[in-house]
Structure formats: C-alpha cells, structure tokens
Amino acid sequence: MSSNLTLSREDIVRLCERVEGAQTRAYAIPKLTDEYPDMTIADGYAVQSELRRRFIAKGHKLVGWKAGLTSKAKMQQMGVSVPSIGFLTDRMARPENSAISTSDLVHPRVECEVAFVMKETLQGPGCTAADVLAATDYVLPAVEIIDSRFSGFKFDLASVIADNGSSARFVGGGRPRYVEDLDLRTLGVVMEKNGEIVGMGASAAVLGHPAEAVAMLVNILAELGENLPAGSFVMSGGITEAVPVKPGDSVVARFQELGSVSMRFTE
C-alpha cells in the first residue's frame, strides 16, 4: 500500500494534527483532498496510522478495529468499490444503557453492527470468512456512533480513512452468542429512535456476510503490516443506514437472536 503514497512525512503529520484537532475539540474541517487533491487511499491510511500512534502515545489502548462502507448501498453512496477500516480505542467505548454526551461530537449518527470478539490472532493476506469464523470467540450486537468531522458532509474515501472512518463512540451489549449457534447471514435488525423505527436491515447487508467484512479488514491490515490480535473487538460494518442523533434522543437497536443495545444522548 505504501507504493501509492504521495504525501511527504511533513504532510502526513500536518494532516494528522488537523484531523486530531477536529476529533478532540469537535469542530468541522474541510475535506483533506481540497488541499491535497492527489491524496490516495494509501495516504489516508498513513495519516490514520500516525493518528493511532499519537493516541497510543497519549495512553489510549487499541481495543480493536472496524470495517466501514461495507454495504453495497453505502459504497454506492460514497462512490467507492472497496470498504475501509479504522481503529477502535478504549476511550471510544461506552457502556450499555449509558448517557452519551454529544457536546464533544460534530455530526453524530448511529448505526447497528454485528461485533466479533476474536479468540485467535488472524493474519492476512488471503484471510477468508471461514478463517474469521474459526478464530471468533463470540459475536454480540453493537451500535457505532460515527461522527464525520468534515464540513458540509463533503467527503471522499481518502479523507474518511484519514479521519479514522469517522470513528467516535461504540456500545456493545445484548447477548453474546457463539457463531455456530447463529446464521449470521439472516439476522434481522431494527433500530428505534424515541420509540419509532428509523432503520431495518439484515446482516447480509454487510458484504453478504459480516465475516466477509472482517476477513477484508484482516487483509487490509496485512497491507499495513499489521495483524488482528486475539482479544480484538471488531465491528463488521453498518447493517442499517446511519441515523442522526441529538441531545434528548434515545436509541434502541434490536437484533434477532442477539438481544438489544440501548443508549441515550445528552448535551
């Protein structure tokens, strides 16, 4: 992936500081390609890797990864043909049923995902969905709170990857289950906001099977010179569309066979 780098080390650091400022102080920035129109996906991951290095240096712990843009609808909406990945830290995690402040977020939106907890380390390239299922300890339902830091919702894949896939917060809950006890292709999901249904979907929306998204994530990690360690928490990508939330909203995601995950939003 390094073969397509166009940014210098100074540019990478500069863009990382720009993204980090937007994330930590909750303000919108223009998409990065406005200034760097030739930015590639490899450049985006270089900025993301620098951001991860900085967060870890500040004491954040890497707890896992997430796949983004994994549904066909989301890829068409963004005009991309490959999904993307982002990292998750302990400071993004929020407990089930908690009140989540929106004052430190720019454009918060929620989506339902199936999360995998790994019992074995996975290494690409060539990782398959079967490899993922064999290495999975259990799955559980999750809601990701994504936050695009780009002004006017103008973005492109390189900028989104640099912004760590809009990662902001995530909540796991419900009832953990072993993969062999479920058909992960056909799980129905309903998202309710303030008691009204705002999203419905089936887990097949994620590349046909959520484990395919995790395999893809492992193979992208291999291109970055990384693996997926045992114990990782992995979100396999949005099953439902991302729905905007504001203070006062309460959200419940109900998953067939996996129980529900709920949270509310405050100032």
Condensed to tens digits (0 to 9), the pLDDT of residues 1-53 reads: 666 899 999 999 999 999 999 999 999 999 999 999 999 999 999 999 999 99
> Is the Cβ–Cβ distance between 169 and 146 less than 8 Å?
no
Distance CA 36, CA 9 (A): 14
User: What band does 76 get if pLDDT is binned at 50, 70 and 90?
Assistant: confident
Tokens, residue 85: 């990945």
Helix, strand, coil abundance in the chain, percent, nearest 5: 35, 30, 35
Q: What are phi and psi of 126, to 5 degrees?
A: 85, 10
Distance CA 134, CA 120 (A): 8
For the chain, the domains span 9-265
* Model pLDDT for residues 137-164, shown as the tens digit of each residue: 999 999 999 998 999 877 788 999 999 9
- Topology of the domain comprising 9-265: Fumarylacetoacetate hydrolase; domain 2 (3.90.850)
Share of the chain above pLDDT 90, in %: 87
SS3 141: strand
Q: What are phi and psi of 69, to 5 degrees?
A: 55, 45
Output the CA–CA distances (angstroms, integers) from residue 3 to 12, 42, 104, in the order listed.
15, 8, 36
Helices (H), 26-71: 41-57
> Is the Cβ–Cβ distance between 69 and 83 less than 8 Å?
yes
- Say how many C-beta atoms besides its own lie within 10 A of residue 78's C-beta: 16
User: What band does 69 get if pLDDT is binned at 50, 70 and 90?
Assistant: confident
